[in-house]
Structure 1
């Protein structure tokens, strides 16, 4: 019988996702490196099957899966550790979901599109707060302005907390070249290359450009789309600081010895799997995703704003929904897919609302 496997179950996002799955009536197999921690988590959730697997032993990851299964992986940083889970899903013929926000890894997943089609599976990368709400907001805006040639998406968080895994992922991306949709083509573009303002719930907020899944996805359904921007909301001084930092790291990344030394230094300071914001902090966090569709003259023709809950709460809930829906045969296509492509706009809108973003 096909099953849901949650790899990285004892990490911060993994634990939240495990709780969301069991609350929805699913019976996931909890997988990770530490048998004792897995057993303790299974006990907290009222009992669940567990399996030991480690990305350092790819065969152990492959052994988790059979054809028709659904794999959720929260094991990051994905640029460093994500490959074995992706390869295992493709080899096994299992649908794949991950929680990454790392643009270069998302692009790696989309480069497996043909392989996924041949395997008859769907690959759903960045299926969390990064970047489901922006894809959804953009699809709503573009539905109202189907002839738009440009769309900008901004992500904004009030009172944010971050997990150790998120900080490790952010650090790992410092040396990676980003990308964007420019002139109808995916082109290299460093993170922080652009800064712009958004109207967010009646307030002006600043966003700095980042590589997101929207660059890779939106123009597939809207062939007239020539420009896509994805922006992370930061206070203006921090946005300028990130812009300057990205210039420095972009230059350092071109010098192999400098890059290696800097990566070792950052790795010694930033650790993954070190917990994250507690329930009380998450309860006070609010988020927005804003999309603006523009014409050739740069005039905004349509906009959509989604608002909702803490990013980690949303990520856990939407991952659980996506995996359960895929297990039930609810994915509409195969290949490397965006969230709207996989489930449809109306279905995804309803699922996002149930997960706390409306």
Structure 2
């Protein structure tokens, strides 16, 4: 009988996801490398199956899966640890969902589109706060402005907390290339190459350009799109700092021995499994995503603003929903999928509303 397998269950995001799945009545198999920790967690959740698997032993990950299963993986940084789970899902003909926010790994998943289609598997990458809300907001904007040729998406967080895994992922991307959608094609572009401001609840907030899943995913449902940019909200000085810092790291990245040395040093210095913000801290966090659709001339056609709570809570909730829906045959296609073409705009919107997101009126920006 098909099942949900949660790999990385004892990690910070993994535990939150396991709690949501259990609360929804699902019975995930809790998988990870620490058997005693898995057994304790299973007991804490009222009983669950467990399985020991380690991404450094790809065969152990492959052994978790059968055709029709759903693999949810939170094992990051994904650039270092993500490929074995991806390969195992495709080989098994299982559906795959991950929590990455790492642009280069998102590209890797979409590069496996043909293999996944041949296997009958659906691949859903970056299926959390990074980058489901932006895909949803853009889809709602494009429903209102179907002739739009450009979409800009901005992510903004107030009172954020970060987990060890998030910090490790951010460190791992310092020397990696960014990308953007230009003339209908995803092309390399330095992270932080562009700054722009958005109207968020009557305030003008600054964002700096980053790679996201929107660049790959949106054109599948909206083939008229020619340009997509995704921005991360930062204070103006921090945004400028990222912009200029990315110029320096892009120089280092061109020298393989330097890039490897810096990445190894960062991997030693920034550990992933160090927990994250507690429930009280997460309760103080607020998030907004803005999507603006423009025409060929750059004229704003419509703007959609969505507001939510903590990114980690949303990631756990939306991955749990996606896993249950996929297990029940609710995927609309196979291959590497964006959130909209995986489930449809209306179903995705309903799931986001159930996870605490709301739509707010927003004035078009210039």
**TM-score band, normalised by shorter chain:** over 0.9
Q: Does 1:354 align with 2:333?
A: no
Alignment match, 2:178:
178
- Measure, in 1, the Cα distance between the counterparts of 2:137 and 2:55: 34
Provide the aligned length of Structure 1 versus Structure 2: 358
**Which runs of structure 2 are paired with 1:132-171 in the superposition (5 Å)?**
132-171=132-171
Per the TM alignment, residue 143 of structure 1 is displaced from its structure 2 partner at its CA by 0.6
Conserved? CA contact 2:221–2:340, under 8 Å: no
Cα distance in 2 between the residues matched to 1:331 and 1:247: 40
Q: Give 1:19-98 correspondences, 5 Å limit.
A: 19-98=19-98
**Shift in Å at residue 268 of structure 1?**
2.2
CA distance in 2, matches of 1:232, 1:315: 17
Q: Residue by residue, what CA displacement relative to the aligned partner does 1:327-346 show, whole Å, maximum 9, x if unpaired?
A: 11111111100011011111
CA offset digits 1:294-339 (Å, max 9, x no partner): 0122111011011011000000000000000011111111110001
Q: Which residue of 1 aligns with 2:232?
A: 232
- State the 1:264 CA deviation: 2.3
Structure 1 position 261, deviation (Å): 2.1
Query: 2 CA distance for matches of 1:37 and 1:150?
Result: 47
Aligned to 2:247: 247
Q: CA deviation at 1:292?
A: 0.2
Q: Residue 270 of structure 1 corresponds to which residue in structure 2?
A: 270
Q: Distance in 1 between matches of 2:115 and 2:240?
A: 40
Q: TM-score, normalised by structure 1?
A: 0.99
CA RMSD of aligned residues (A): 0.7
Name structure 2 gaps, 5 residues minimum: 359-366
**Bigger shift: 138-147 or 261-270?**
261-270
Secondary structure in 1 aligned to 2:117? helix
Describe the SS at the equivalent of 2:275.
Answer: coil
User: Does the CA-based 8 Å contact 2:116-2:123 persist in structure 1?
Assistant: yes
TM-score of the superposed pair, with normalisation by structure 2: 0.97
- For residue 188 of structure 1, what is the aligned residue in structure 2? 188
1:210 shift after superposition: 0.4
Match of 2:290 in 1: 290
Task: Give the CA deviation at 1:266.
Answer: 1.5
Moved over 3 A (4+): none
